Amino acid sequence: MKIFNINLLKLISKIPFRQYSGEYRIYHFPGFANTSNKDNVGEKKQKKLHISKTLGAASGISDTLTAQNSAPEHAIKSSPTKKSFTNLLLEGTTVVTNTNSKSPSGECAEKKVEKKPDKSKCLRAVPRLKWVNELPEDCRAKKTDIPTVKLRDGYVMPMFGLGTWLSPSAKVEKAVKHALKVGYRMIDCAHAYENEEAVGKAIKKSIEKCIVKRDELFITSKLWNTFHDPHLVMSACRQSLCDLNLSYLNLYLIHWPMGYRAGDELIPYDACGRVIGTRVDYVETWKAMEELVARRLTRSIGLANFNKHQIERIWKIAKIKPVVNQVECHPYFNQKRLMAYLKKKGIVLIAYSPLGAPARPWVKKDEPNVLHDNLIKTIAFNTGRTPAQICIRYQIQRGNAVIPKSVTPSRIESNFDVTNFELSDEEMKIIDKLDKKIRRVSLSMLANHPHYPFNDKF
């Protein structure tokens, strides 16, 4: 019997056990940074995740969220390392949440991240930097007549501006300088676009050349998903201010309601290509956003990609109510129900991808294209306009702000020329009926995240 017990203990000791590590493996994005490793073990090794441009769509998610409700103790003290963000859509990944325990052979270990250059010097210098906010006294900047909308906090926002998502840094500086020269006064930015430094250079040079005054500009940036932990919000905002070379923002948004684990990468992932998420509640994040207004780092705060239920949760606890919700909106996805709800709340809808995001990297052949729609083209022909101008004007007449993206000078000029014509009521109704409920930026690979916004109807 003693020999039997000894053998039994030896057998049990060889059985591998998986211990819960306070993480949750959220979703699997097929093809998203999943490549086979050359190791003998045969584990999957993820490509570097390039996130700079936007949030794309992929499908298929594995595992379930079971993460802890707080960010890891090693939360970053400086900004995350720049990586390219487009492949978040083109490839697949999985979401986890803090892999703290050593995984046995054959399982996914946490990917080791090399130590990145410290950018905290810029953050520490923010209060002492010499900001180029005002023109010299002898400068007279060009005045522009742009439709505006008054936000619920009293500030005035232009009804349309220049989007910078998917704009490479090498081109976005020239694009922003040209847009400001043409007459644009609203520039939409985000940390995740990885081009804020180039945008900042364009703004600085434009102010120095007497093209525009700082107080005439409306600059927006966004809090990225790895900064949802309340104690990281201020450092994230300061990093965008540092990159943009500004002393304050006009508007700062929570980019998405879903949070990722804090760290040095825009999208943290494990060796199996699974995104490491966090269950930090965006309600707590919002409270930290309010502190930014008190510190005068931003004048207004708002949301992006939030649904009705999520906005209601923030509305109940907010000392400072959100002034905008920036969402995808175009003739094939007109957001009619969400728009009606936002108007009742006094929240302005900002339409991104107003042209249907025809240049997004994951575009499929033979899919419906807003700019090629026969009815849009007919209205454009009858009014002597371009299909893009029709789509932009459509949003303005609905009372929505709109931020079309372009780095081509001729298109930047054309998109700006939307104030001297109007669509008739009949034309507006025709465009309203084009709604196909087609969402181009869905991040469907994150559908298992507890804060994924697009499982609700609106």
Instruction: Measure the N-to-C terminal CA separation of the chain; round to a whole number of Å.
Output: 66
Name residue, tokens 């002492």. 128
Which backbone phi and psi does 187 adopt, to 5 degrees?
-120, 125
Packing angle, helices 336-345 and 308-317, rounded to 10: 10
- With 0-12 / 13-18 / 19 or more C-beta atoms within 10 angstroms meaning exposed / middle / buried, residue 225 is buried
H or E stretch covering 221: strand 218-223
Is 193 an annotated catalytic residue? yes
Which backbone phi and psi does 206 adopt, to 5 degrees?
-65, -40
Amino acid at 394: Y
DSSP secondary structure letter of residue 319: S
Amino acid at 77: K
DSSP secondary structure letter of residue 1: -
Which residues partner with 330 through β-bridges? 333
Among 456, 382, 448, 380, CA closest to 418: 380
Among 143, 281, 258, 263, CA closest to 212: 143
Quick check: 165 and 405 in contact, CB under 8 A?
A: yes
H or E stretch covering 176: helix 169-182
- Longest Cα–Cα distance of the chain, Å, equals 100
Token couple for 17: 């056990």
Count of helices and strands (H, E) across the chain? 13, 15
* Helices marked H in 29-127: 87-90, 120-124
Return the CA Rg of the chain: 24
Which residues partner with 188 through β-bridges? 163, 220
Quick check: 265 and 88 in contact, CB under 8 A?
A: no
Which backbone phi and psi does 2 adopt, to 5 degrees?
-65, -40
Token couple for 298: 């931003």
Quick check: 250 and 298 in contact, CB under 8 A?
A: yes
List 24, 193, 260, 332, catalytic entry:
193
Return the C-alpha torsion angle 160, 161, 166, 169, nearest 10. 180
Give me the active site residues, please: 193
